[in-house]
Amino acid sequence: MRIDVSDLSFSFGVSRVLKNVSFTVGDGEFLGLMGPNGSGKTTLLRCLTRYLPADPKAVFVDMKPLHTLSDRQLATTFAVVPQSSSTDFPFTVREIVTMGRIPHAHSRILGSRAGDARLVSAAMVASGCDFLADRHFSELSGGERQRVVIARALAQEPKALLLDEPTVYLDISGQLEIMDLVKKLNKERSLTIVAVLHDINLAARYCDRIALLHQGRLEAIGPPSDVLTPETIQSVYGVDVAVRKDPFTHGIYVMPRSITTSARKNGARVHVLCGGGSGGPILRQLVEHGFSLSSGVLNVLDSDYECAVDLHIPVVAEVPFSQISDETNRGNLSMIDDSRAVVVSRFPVGPGNFKNLEAARYALDNGKKVFVISGLDLPSVDFIGGRADACLRGLINAGAVEVSSVDELTRQLGVELEALK
Amino acid sequence: MALESGQSDVEPAKGSRFAFFRRNPLLFIVLLFLFLLVSTFLAVLVGTLGPIGPGEPEKISLSDAMYAILKLDGDYPAYYTAVFWDVRIPRVLLAGLVGAALACAGTAMQAIFRNPMADPFIIGVSSGAAVGAVSAGLIGLTTVVGAFTAPMLAFVSALVTVLVVYKMGTVRGKVYVDTLLLSGVAIAAFLGAIVSFLIFFARDDYHQLIPWLLGSFAVAKWSYVWILVLPVCFGVCLVFLFGRELNALLLGEETAHNLGADPEFLKKLMLTTAALVTAGAVAFTGIIGFVGLIVPHMMRILVGADHRALVPASILFGASFLIWADAISRTIIPGQELPVGIITALCGGPFFLYLLRRSRTSGSMS
């Protein structure tokens, strides 16, 4: 079934909750509705179900204006699965699912229509709750209840399923079970789905398209990979994220990094000399604590390089598997010149990147504060016969500060940069 | 969670002792109907004169009673026919009608308020009616203008009270049940104070008011039966016909809407129906408590929460329950009539406590 929303606005009193929202949901499509709390997702859903009185010319189902449908036609068009359902009354699962037949009832006096019982059983089988049929609804777990409510929705024989954060109270396996079930119904019955979802990764994994609402406006709509970019998420949620491709599902997934945008501490920068994966944790933690960073010299395929790029840290890079060239080294040294402090991580040192240690010496000689992550007592990562260890010891003797952990480094750097004020 | 689901796989549904009736609600309703017929018949035989009862000053034999009830010619005193046809039969029928009305209104109110503690008086019917009835009694209108004045005044003041409570709980045409409930409590307290005030000044006339305040069928007349029968039948049928929608409403107003049942219409229809039948019932017989609260509960334990079965079961059992309560009230103390409200509360109070404990220990209210 096709749903057209054109120029839909809605206000609670004076506060405008939806502002000129327009979009289309295609037949058999799985659309995710996303957005921060209070962005109007649930209101939009309630305008579709007419629970809230929207502008009659704003919503069309299969080209028919929503207000021309009777209550019962509406209930056979949309079935709704809320966040959670509960009742103080001792309904059995079968009774709850049978309620889905209310809009199909022909007569008030006669009981159910012929075939209702069969349809109800089929709906319970389809959503995997038939074994619960004679249990009391109130004694089921959250996941079981959602299955029952989905069965009730199926018993309505709707053309579209509207879900309002159906997995919000479920544990991770429950979330996946319910979403798999919804996806299956979407595929096998080409049931149109509109689901309000909070979990970005769940949405990215299951939705054909995502509509992103922000302060009542439709900010973006499209396939997950188009909508869920670091830029849109930053602008809508105010959260810094990294977006990755999942090597197994080829879907995308989103990792939050920090909600604090880096407070440049007096504009003073810290240069991190790292490599071989040793720098990632340092870079991440320092960014989270608001330090302005640069990094070098890193080979392009190094995981530290990817980490630095992800974090939008300026990085002096060298082509993969190559020695540090003189030109790159000059770039690195000029970065050090612009920095207030230099951090030397415990990276594996070989002939190719020995220049990074020499750069640390250069920094010390030029009056920069140098921090060395300790670990000389750990198994050596020196691949050039002791020269690297000797160089590190030399640094410490010449005044470099040895720190035992990233936490201590963060603390000491904080003190150092504070002293600048 | 594993533990939880593991547990619930083994443990059968609560109330499975009565699972037979839950699976065969129609059979249960037929049994209740037969029970009502038998109760009606037996209750007609109950009385001070017997055949069931103390038999003071004389005891009617069973065969005489049958002859009198069937109005056959026979060797029995002529006033026996009057005992049955002018006193007992209208009284039993009135008790049945009022029981059905209260139980049905209670079921509807519990559905509307989505609260197992709701009863037919929750929106101020009883306190409103009390003000009307007590005023009428004190001014002495009963004797001056006729027997129907007090019930009329009680009925009207009950409806005015309900209207005020309803207005308090309604904002721009939308009924807010939580506000409605609180307004009902507040207005009931206010009117209760007025009734107490009137009683305080009634002094010696106070005793005349007791049967009404505690509910009594002693006043039963055929005319009362004829006035009540149509509205009560109409009301209970209406509640029954909207049983499916009431089911949906118990899951919340939004869910009801999404299932094609208009919650606003449903709330207004049910509140009006329940208020009218309750006001009609209490206007004649006074405030009979607990029937509207506990009968739906008992039936829910037996047939479950589905209103398609619950409403007819409550109506039939409510009628039987009040018929028996009345039969007890007029014979338990020889030569004296207890107000029936005392009997219902005596049975209802302990049962209600039992329910409360049950809901505390099992987690779900039945």
Q: Are B245 and B266 in contact (CB under 8 A)?
A: yes
By Cβ distance, the residue of B1, B8, B258 closest to A80 is B258
Is A269-419 in the same CATH topology as A3-257?
yes
B365 vs A88: CB contact, 8 Å cut-off? yes
pLDDT at B15 over 70: no
Phi/psi-derived region of residue B286, left when phi > 0, alpha when psi is between -120 and 50, beta in every other case: left
CB pair distance less than 8 Å for B13 and A76: no
CB A384 within 8 A of CB A349: yes
Q: Determine contact: A412 vs chain B, CB below 8 A.
A: no
Q: Say whether pLDDT at B4 is over 50.
A: no
Which of B8-17, B221-230, B253-262 is predicted least confidently?
Answer: B8-17
Host domain of residue B297: 31-362
Cα B122 to chain centroid, rounded:
13
Label residue B362 by pLDDT band (50, 70, 90). low
Q: What is the CATH number of the domain that holds B49?
A: 1.10.3470.10
Q: Domain residue spans in chain A?
A: 3-257, 269-419
Name, in order, each residue with C-beta under 8 angstroms of A371's C-beta and a sequence gap of 6 or more.
A341, A342, A343, A344, A400, A401, A402, A403, A409, A412, A413
What pLDDT score was predicted for residue B97? 93
Q: What is the predicted pLDDT for the residue at B61? A: 76
Overall domain count for chain B: 1
- Two structure tokens written together for A395: 């640094």
pLDDT at B356: 63
Residues of chain A contacting B257 with CB distance shorter than 8 Å: 49-51, 71
Q: What is the pLDDT of residue A317?
A: 85
d(CA A84, nearest CA chain B) in Å: 10
Q: Does B73 touch chain A (CB under 8 A)?
A: no
Cβ–Cβ pairs < 8 A, chains A and B: 108
The parts of chain A modelled with pLDDT lower than 70 are: 107-113, 247, 249, 257-267, 375-380, 420-421
Q: What local confidence, expressed as pLDDT, does residue A262 receive?
A: 45
**Residue B2, domain member (yes or no):** no
Q: Which fold has domain A269-419?
A: Rossmann fold (3.40.50)
Q: What's the rounded mean pLDDT across residues B137-162?
A: 74
pLDDT at B85: 83
| CA–CA separation, B183 and B177 (whole Å) | 10
- C-alpha distances in Å from residue A308, one per residue of A32, A249, A328: 32, 25, 17
- B36 pLDDT band, cuts 50/70/90, is very high
CA atoms of B286 and A252, how far apart (whole Å): 71
Q: Which residues pair with B123 in a beta bridge?
A: none
Q: Which chain B residues are closer than 8 Å to A100 by Cβ?
A: 259
B366: confidence class by pLDDT, cuts 50, 70, 90: very low
Fold classification of A3-257 (topology level): Rossmann fold (3.40.50)
Gap between the Cα atoms of A203 and A210, Å rounded: 7
Q: pLDDT digit string (tens) for B233-252?
A: 999 999 999 988 999 999 88
Inter-chain touch B19–A134, beta carbons under 8 Å: yes
Record the tokens describing residue A59, joined without a space.
């919503």
Number of Cβ within a 10 Å radius of residue B269: 17
Q: Quick check: is B188 in a domain? A: yes
Residue B15 lies in a domain: no
- Contact of A149 with A81, CB cutoff 8 Å: yes
Q: Give a yes or no: residue B4 inside a domain.
A: no
In contact, A202 and A38? CB cutoff 8 Å: no
A216, with CB counted inside 10 A (0-12, 13-18, 19+), is buried
User: Chain A contacts of B366, Cβ < 8 Å?
Assistant: 90
pLDDT at A37: 87
B221 at interface of A, judged by CB pairs closer than 8 A: no
* Nearest chain B CA: its distance from A51 CA (Å): 7
Alpha-carbon distance of A305 to A297, in angstroms, equals 9
Tell me, yes or no, whether B277 lies in a domain.
yes
B22 assigned to some structural domain:
no
Distances (CA, A) of A350 to A236, A322, B272: 45, 11, 89
% of chain B at pLDDT higher than 90: 18
Of residues B34, B254, B27, B107, the one with CA closest to residue A84: B254
The ipTM assigned to this model is 0.79
Residue B73 forms part of a structural domain: yes
- Nearest C-alpha in B relative to A132: B9
User: Which residues, numbered 299 to 328 in chain A, qualify as contacts with chain B under a Cβ-Cβ cut-off of 8 Å?
Assistant: none
Within-domain flag for B21: no
Chosen for mutation from B14, B113, B257, B259 (greatest number of chain A CBs closer than 10 Å) is B259
Helix (H, G, I), strand (E, B) or coil at A379: coil
Q: Of A314-318, A329-333, B55-59, B304-308, give the lowest mean pLDDT range.
A: B55-59
